[in-house]
Copies of this chain bind each other. A is one copy, B any other.
């Protein structure tokens, strides 16, 4: 399907403030960006680099006053996310080098604390995809999904204790459990068509059957219409914006995802 996905961020900046932005979806095997707008207002010099996860990042110093970042993409993406029940566990020695960082604990995914819990959830499951599915089922039944409730980022341990969380929190818990089973898992931030209420979304991917598969503990089935913006070890790696110095007010954030009848031409 073809989608137009857009995000507007508006700030009121008291003093010139450095930002790091991560809002540019990249073309890849799962999605193709045919048209992209990326407008900083007022227009300021920006430098771009690619981080170690392959995300395109922009560095900018926002001037004092009103500052906005507006991005919009026309993108072709799959109608349905691939699923692969019974896709096998990949032995650690067979994993591609680049998947290894996603085996370790990270800021919000303390996988070293989930060894027992993950083993218990996965009991009786075929190693690999089915274990991941069991983890997602566990999260769906144990953690209440509370979309849109803004909060400080909490870790997998904390969300597990709290019993509810936003999409990001549920993804953290899924990632922590997968890693505890020696399955590489990573966080994805992006757009999801039809999300209610519309917002940026987070899900996770696990590496089984020799590729990454998407899992989304907040949605009843693995519908498509996904546009990945950035991926990393957890929310610490994939903040769509990071602001340094004294806290700055986000006046407004507006996310839209709309079906297009076809390619943009």
Answer yes or no: A40 CB below 8 A from chain B CBs: yes
- Tell me the smallest distance from the CB of A212 to a CB of chain B, in Å: 14
Cross-chain contact B47 with A29 (CB below 8 angstroms):
yes
Which of chain B's residues has its CB closest to A74's CB? B37
Checking B43, B92, B112 against A34 with a beta-carbon cut-off of 8 angstroms, the contacting residue is: B43
Cross-chain contact B34 with A39 (CB below 8 angstroms):
yes
In the assembled complex, the Cα of A101 lies from the Cα of B55 at a distance in Å of 12
In the assembled complex, the Cα of A62 lies from the Cα of B97 at a distance in Å of 18
- Tell me the smallest distance from the CB of A185 to a CB of chain B, in Å: 14
| Complex copy number for this chain | 4
In the assembled complex, the Cα of A103 lies from the Cα of B27 at a distance in Å of 23
A side interface size, CB within 8 A: 57
Which of chain B's residues has its CB closest to A109's CB? B107
Cross-chain contact A112 with B245 (CB below 8 angstroms):
no
Inside 8 A of A106's CB, which chain B residues have their CB? Answer: 106-107, 236
Answer yes or no: A151 CB below 8 A from chain B CBs: no
Cross-chain contact B264 with A41 (CB below 8 angstroms):
no
Inside 8 A of A29's CB, which chain B residues have their CB? Answer: 45, 47
In the assembled complex, the Cα of A237 lies from the Cα of B107 at a distance in Å of 12
Cross-chain contact B18 with A46 (CB below 8 angstroms):
no
In the assembled complex, the Cα of A132 lies from the Cα of B97 at a distance in Å of 29
Answer yes or no: A28 CB below 8 A from chain B CBs: yes
Answer yes or no: A105 CB below 8 A from chain B CBs: yes
Checking B27, B46, B100, B244 against A27 with a beta-carbon cut-off of 8 angstroms, the contacting residue is: B46
Inside 8 A of A112's CB, which chain B residues have their CB? Answer: 153
Cross-chain contact A263 with B34 (CB below 8 angstroms):
no
Q: Interface readout for A35-56 with B: 1 if CB under 8 Å, 0 if not? A: 1111111010111111110100
Q: Interface readout for A237-258 with B: 1 if CB under 8 Å, 0 if not? A: 1000010110000000000000
Answer yes or no: A110 CB below 8 A from chain B CBs: yes
Inside 8 A of A70's CB, which chain B residues have their CB? Answer: 265
A-B contact pairs, 28 of them (CB 8 A): A28-B47, A28-B48, A29-B47, A32-B45, A33-B38, A34-B40, A34-B43, A35-B36, A35-B37, A35-B38, A35-B39, A36-B36, A36-B38, A39-B263, A39-B264, A39-B265, A41-B263, A41-B265, A49-B97, A52-B52, A59-B97, A60-B93, A104-B242, A105-B107, A106-B106, A112-B153, A182-B244, A182-B245
